[in-house]
A and B are shown apart, each in its own frame.
Chain A
């Protein structure tokens, strides 16, 4: 599921093996490192607390916990790939969730009987629609008005949360239809529904990023917006679409949240914003844009989930979670820095040799 454009293997005959080597090594080093880290954490936790950690129950509980953050992280990732950021993802999710919850709670008595499916579908549409609207507004501020994304979405984060607060007056909106809660708590065969949704979203966005023209533009725009404009890429449109999709995913996360917790609150999960940034950076998304893969992000969120579940089982206080996550992030940064330094030296050497070979061989 490598979503990197450059990971395509070239078909130039005379340089096939070499380019494979260079191309794949370069891309997959980061992923490989993440994979090693994820597996290492998993193994350590399994060894330390085999009983609760290696049980089906634990896996199931983990797979209810991380999809929300996972989807929000993918929303964040889209904005970060363009060199921006979307601080409003949680605000959007909550606003979308609250409006869907309002619909569910106010209409359910009348609509009960026969129209339940319609009502639930309506609630989903409302949430996704609100997500899209919030996203378009972000995109408008960033792409049309030209406000730096960090400021634009800081503003809309407050705005969306504010609207949600006004609507709910600060109270939680509680009590939905049994059938709706299935989205957050249900199981299909042995897989929890939120996990299935996350896998779907991850797969679709991996494809969008790596295989479509839009994905290509996103990476190019994130690498160099000026060159993108000079290449005929409609930056405004690409940015608008990006923030729209980010809002859409936030709306989806909003549905999962209210269906899982059976309540909608304006201030739910505010710490998710920075955690999503953390997941992205850990997953190798370049904060200045242009580089990153969904697979990296998935590994990042898995390793963080293993860590926090594991620490829970080691009977560490829950307060340790943040501390450990911060530590992990810093550690990975340092490792990344050192290994990039080492690699770029070797890469330079190799490239020079290869170029000398190619130009000498003619």
Chain B
């Protein structure tokens, strides 16, 4: 029995003339945690699909447990013990966790009736494999994301998995849930099961992997032990360029300046309570906290999506009321939402239409007729300023990469000439190159006098870009730091809440 469980040799694949993979190699040993790293479009997904047998390689060879395959079919991959946990987990949402786990076993038995005792037994044993307990009789759609993932993992183990491939498994998880996922991975590893961890989150890669394979533009660019890599090296290999991670330097203009935005005792039942803070022109203020800490709800209140029920908001020293989104926009507040695809963009509509969606009401001549020159002027200006890469603004915004899509969302707000820009997770799902670019855009805006608020749980992002950081826990601002005063480790620890043992979402006490 050789040490290598899976060997991918010189695999190439092209789609419609576009080369997605060029002679890619990948070796996974038994019981190894290997990270597959690359930006969006680097060929990670294609490689996974080839290993799963979903796509056939144009050339190359796949060797699983010593057996060579020229063409691998999904059924072969499963038979050889390869299991993939996709981002959507491929579970049946309307069945209980137990039913999901026992489903395949029951199918194989070809019985016409279901023995519910068996279902429970199979499910319990499956969960025991990874030493976790969840409520097996709840429907999967009611489970938190982390639990869904655990169900998917234990289902994979029921199929005698020898290699589990996890595709961006931490995207929707909180830090704490990531921790327990890592524990599960370590446990799998001890039992001799290999894990291929696909990700572009640098910290996680450095923490969990034993060995790292980096792809860029469909080619191997680096391969080796984790100890050979650090953040900067990973970034360099992923993007092919040196990206300096610098911190934002905020220079206060006048000491007597009135704050752009002042929030005083803002509350909303069940979401957040007694929140007060200021944002001065040129500042980038970070608001961080775990999922459910009230950070998103606070942003939505400032933008009028779910207005606050108590407290005052002042803009440039003037008391304002924000009852709906129109109020917020009129007062010069813009909001880049958390979920770009559903909240930020009109995906099938053109890039240009997306960019002017918020400003269009100001571009009308008589009788509500849009001035096409003004409209096109805005579109051209911001495509150029934000360096959006597209052959034409008439193409659907869907045709753009994640980073460019996010720039379109930014442009939508910049056309309205906002005083305060609230950005909720501004670089989620954006590759590292674009991420740095977007951070630069935000910094430039701040330097031009906008007050920026970044809401994020991406700790490096917050620390590098914000001159002031507010930490939220259970709907309240519990601490404030200046950006150069705190390290990533400290902030991570404080986010979880001191010793990290505190329950996150239970018993939220509000005024």
Which A residues form the contact surface with B (CB < 8 A)? 5-12, 15, 18-19, 22-23, 26, 211-214, 216-217, 219-220, 223-224, 226-234, 290-291, 345, 348-349, 351-352, 354-355, 357-359
Partner of A230, one of B326, B343, B350, B392: B343
Partner of B342, one of A7, A11, A226, A348: A226
| Residues on B with beta carbons closer than 8 Å to the beta carbon of A228 | 346, 357
The distance in angstroms between the C-alpha atoms of A227 and B353, with both chains bound, is 12
Knowing that A223-B349, A232-B326 are A-B contacts, what are 19 other residue pairs whose CB atoms are under 8 Å apart, sorted by A's residue number? A5-B350, A6-B352, A11-B380, A22-B395, A23-B394, A23-B395, A212-B369, A212-B370, A213-B360, A213-B363, A213-B364, A216-B357, A220-B357, A223-B346, A224-B346, A231-B325, A231-B357, A352-B18, A357-B391
The distance in angstroms between the C-alpha atoms of A357 and B392, with both chains bound, is 12
Partner of A216, one of B335, B343, B370: B370
Q: Which of B346, B358, B391 has the most CB of A within 10 A?
A: B391
The distance in angstroms between the C-alpha atoms of A102 and B358, with both chains bound, is 47
The distance in angstroms between the C-alpha atoms of A213 and B383, with both chains bound, is 22
Question: Can you name 13 A-B pairs with beta carbons within 8 Å?
Answer: A8-B394, A11-B376, A15-B391, A22-B395, A23-B395, A213-B370, A220-B357, A224-B347, A229-B305, A291-B348, A349-B16, A352-B18, A355-B389
| Residues on B with beta carbons closer than 8 Å to the beta carbon of A359 | 389
Question: In the complex, what residue of chain A is closest to B17 when comparing beta carbons?
Answer: A349
The distance in angstroms between the C-alpha atoms of A10 and B381, with both chains bound, is 12
| A10 x B394 contact (CB < 8 A) | yes
| Residues on A with beta carbons closer than 8 Å to the beta carbon of B352 | 6, 8, 10
B410 to chain A, nearest CB (A): 13
Question: In the complex, what residue of chain A is closest to B347 when comparing beta carbons?
Answer: A224
For the residues of A in contact with B, the DSSP-based class is helix
Partner of B353, one of A5, A12, A18: A5
| B360 x A19 contact (CB < 8 A) | no
Which B residues form the contact surface with A (CB < 8 A)? 16-18, 305, 324-326, 328-329, 335, 337, 342-350, 352-353, 357-358, 360-361, 363-364, 367-370, 372, 375-376, 379-380, 383, 389-395, 399, 412
| Residues on A with beta carbons closer than 8 Å to the beta carbon of B392 | 10, 12, 15, 18-19, 22-23, 354
B412 to chain A, nearest CB (A): 7
| A224 x B16 contact (CB < 8 A) | no
Q: Which 4 A-B pairs have the closest CB atoms?
A: A19-B392, A23-B394, A354-B391, A6-B350
| A213 x B346 contact (CB < 8 A) | no
The distance in angstroms between the C-alpha atoms of A6 and B389, with both chains bound, is 18
The distance in angstroms between the C-alpha atoms of A352 and B352, with both chains bound, is 19
A-B contact count (CB 8 A): 133
Question: In the complex, what residue of chain A is closest to B325 when comparing beta carbons?
Answer: A232
| A8 x B376 contact (CB < 8 A) | yes
| Residues on A with beta carbons closer than 8 Å to the beta carbon of B358 | 231-232
The distance in angstroms between the C-alpha atoms of A272 and B245, with both chains bound, is 65
A342 to chain B, nearest CB (A): 12
| Residues on B with beta carbons closer than 8 Å to the beta carbon of A291 | 348
| A227 x B344 contact (CB < 8 A) | yes
Partner of A348, one of B16, B326, B350: B16
| A212 x B367 contact (CB < 8 A) | yes
Question: In the complex, what residue of chain A is closest to B343 when comparing beta carbons?
Answer: A230
The distance in angstroms between the C-alpha atoms of A242 and B211, with both chains bound, is 59
| Residues on A with beta carbons closer than 8 Å to the beta carbon of B353 | 5-6, 216, 219-220
| Residues on B with beta carbons closer than 8 Å to the beta carbon of A232 | 325-326, 328-329, 358
The distance in angstroms between the C-alpha atoms of A261 and B505, with both chains bound, is 68
| B346 x A358 contact (CB < 8 A) | no
